[in-house]
Structure 1
Amino acid sequence: MFYRPEDGHGLKHNPFNAVVTPRPIGWISTRDSDGSENLAPYSFFNAVAYVPPQVMFASTSAKPDRDGTKDSVANIRETGVFCVNIVEYAMREAMNLTSGPWPREIDEFEKAGIERVPCEEIPCSRVASAPASLECRMTEIVTLRGEANFLVLGEVVGVHLRDDCLEDGMFNVLKFQPLTRLGYRDYSRITEVFSLKRPGE
């Protein structure tokens, strides 16, 4: 099968949503200039550089009460900071609850019963039980083609690692089984890893 996205695919659901998979999930916590907090998952998320460490996530739709975007991007525009919380399999239901189209005044930490703790380097909360959290200062928000598509880039200025996820001096993902997004309503978890040696190493 071949199709041009501009012509449509003729399938029941958009296959592009399931092609780039699995995708890590960035559980983004933010705070607006008035101190109200938000927590929302984004599967268009990844690390993009080592030195200095940098991450990105993309927001691809809008809420009627947020002037062409979502709470996360609106808050980051105001404060310039955000925290990426890594999602473990055990938190899948709480993560899913925070993905709802809740009004801006709803605090997803409270709605989903998630314990929060203050970040160290930025004025924002993080998920207390997350396997890892990355405190970030926004470096750029890029407007992408299409309606309400924004790419947020940030430099990581603080890293939290849950102690039980460290083993022999390494961050062991099997200790928490990262939750990943596939396509449609499908998710997966990492339960097995293997190593490959690069040529020349």
Structure 2
Amino acid sequence: MSTRTLAVVSAGLGVPSSTRLLADRLTTATVDALRERGVTATVEVVELRQHARDLADNLLTGFPDQALRGAVDTVVGADGLIAVTPIFSASYSGLFKTFFDVLDKDALTGKPVLLGATAGTARHSLALEHAMRPLFAYLRATAAPTAVFAASEDWAGGDAGSPALDARVRRAAGELADLVAGRPPTAPADPFADPTTSFEDLLRGNGG
């Protein structure tokens, strides 16, 4: 079996959070779908609430600290991405948007992405199409056709979710698995590629 890496970005604010719960459901279903396609998946989760201060500092300085750099590298280096946000005022959260603002504009080009969102009412479900999908289209990622929205009523029966939600999760996971399995593994980033300071300047002690 071949191996692929999935990065999971959850922008939930609470502990526990319905956003993380949906992210976990999507992840489990995608791992299962990849296994059916002969692919073993490793999963790395990025909880954005843990990087809120790091993101604010990055906006002010233009440079990520070590913790945020690790989160960025996880997402950029993954073969596929599951991105889930709570919906506030009919759009993705500010924390979610700030993280993707930090990425290089070409970092997600061609990367398979499964979009998910949560909110208290199904009235917010269109945010997936009028807000999240355009964001990832701008980043030139390859979004799975099915995006998954979960409102409070979808969890009324417990963490297992409603049958309708389960069907959406399985369909979206299968689509992401097809996209991920159909691409060659992402090559590890070369830390010495395209250095901002030449090696000659580094040797002279002019590293900026």
TM-score by length of 2: 0.23
Q: Would you tell me which structure has more strand in proportion to its own residues?
A: 1
TM-score by length of 1: 0.23
Q: Would you tell me which structure has more helix in proportion to its own residues?
A: 2
